[in-house]
Chain A
Amino acid sequence: MKNALPLWEVFIRTKNGLSHRHVGSVHAAGPRMALEAARDVYTRRMEGVSLWVVPSESITASDPSESASLFDPAADKIYRHPTFYAVPDNIKHI
């Protein structure tokens, strides 16, 4: 049965003001049941205040074989990192 059901990616907003973050995936027959499965599998311990589910097949992923050309060029461009600024202590999520 499990193999016949489509896969859904699960995103949780842990609290208001934060972004939804990917936490995993569930198998379910439809969007509503995917939400229920995500609720049961991933929010048992108060992990979130909002859930998104997205059909896994809707996600276009980058090709690992292209990672050198996609990502390596950023490696030596340290001036793109905001590390030259002092971050105030009370800024938690930057």
Chain B
Amino acid sequence: MDQNLAICLGDDALILGHRLSEWCGHAPSLEVDLALANIGLDLLGQAQFFLGLAGDADALAYQRDAHEFQNCLLVEQPNGDFARTIARQFLFSTWQELLFRDLAQSKNPDMAAIAGKALKEVTYHARFAAEWTIRLGDGTAESQRRMTEGFDWCWRFTDELVSGDNAALRPEWDARINTTLAQAKLDRPKPVRGITGGRAGRHSEHLGHILSEMQFLQSAYPDAVW
């Protein structure tokens, strides 16, 4: 079970890390550019640890096809505008923070160590994304519209995070989300029918596009070294 969990968490981190790397050089300001790249690199490090716990991290990252990935659907969603990226990050990092806080107490010492290290990182990610959520939600008419649209886009993918094995996290996750949304003067998105399946390898078309870029070198030049 731990191996399956490690793959899920590793894939989450790997795919979202790649998504954030797409912002590099394109973010609204130098400060945000570095912040998003930092978060992406933190996630890449987490992916290396989690996938390393499950097996050969490089092979798992570069030699699997889309249906073998077990990341949640939220992380593979396109960046959209900055507000949507922030919405995705806030929803995801808040979830990661709650989950890693529990996993840091895991009976598996490796899992506990990785989660404990990652917890420090994701606590910052969640705080960063919450700050921006508040700033944009309680900002101008345009930033509020964009932030609302960002949450609306992401909302249907959040069920997957807090159901099944992680259903116990839902009340606290809900409370954290509600608190920040209230501070941001944003309405909680209306309930929608959640879309799930990522954990079982049923992905949106977006994942294939991510992999074709991420795995390009390995596909074109298998086992290349320098």
Contact B127 A33 (CB under 8 A): no
Cβ of B111 to closest chain A Cβ, rounded Å: 26
In this complex, how many residues of chain B approach chain A with their Cβ under 8 Å: the count is 14
Q: A37, A39, A40: which has the most chain B beta carbons within 10 Å? A: A40
How distant is B169 from chain A, measured CB to nearest CB, in Å?
25
Residues from 100 to 146 in B contacting A, C-beta threshold 8 Å: 124, 127-128, 131-132, 135
Residues of A close to B167: CB separation below 8 A = none
Decide: A36 and B35 in contact? CB cutoff 8 A.
Answer: yes
Of B31, B124, B127, the residue contacting A37 (CB under 8 A) is: B31
In whole angstroms, how far apart are the Cα atoms of A33 and B131 in the complex?
Answer: 7
Q: A36-B35, A37-B35, A40-B34 are in contact. Are A2 and B131 (CB under 8 A)?
A: no
Interface bin, chain A: 10 to 19
Tally of A-B residue pairs with Cβ under 8 A?
A: 34
> Shortest distance in angstroms between B208's beta carbon and chain A's nearest beta carbon?
32
Interface-lining segment among A22-30, A63-71, A74-82, A83-91 = A22-30
A93 / chain B contacts, CB cutoff of 8 Å: none
Is A49 an interface position by the 8 A CB rule?
no
Query: Which of A's residues lie within 8 Å of B, judged by CB?
Result: 1-2, 5, 26-30, 32-33, 36-37, 39-41, 44
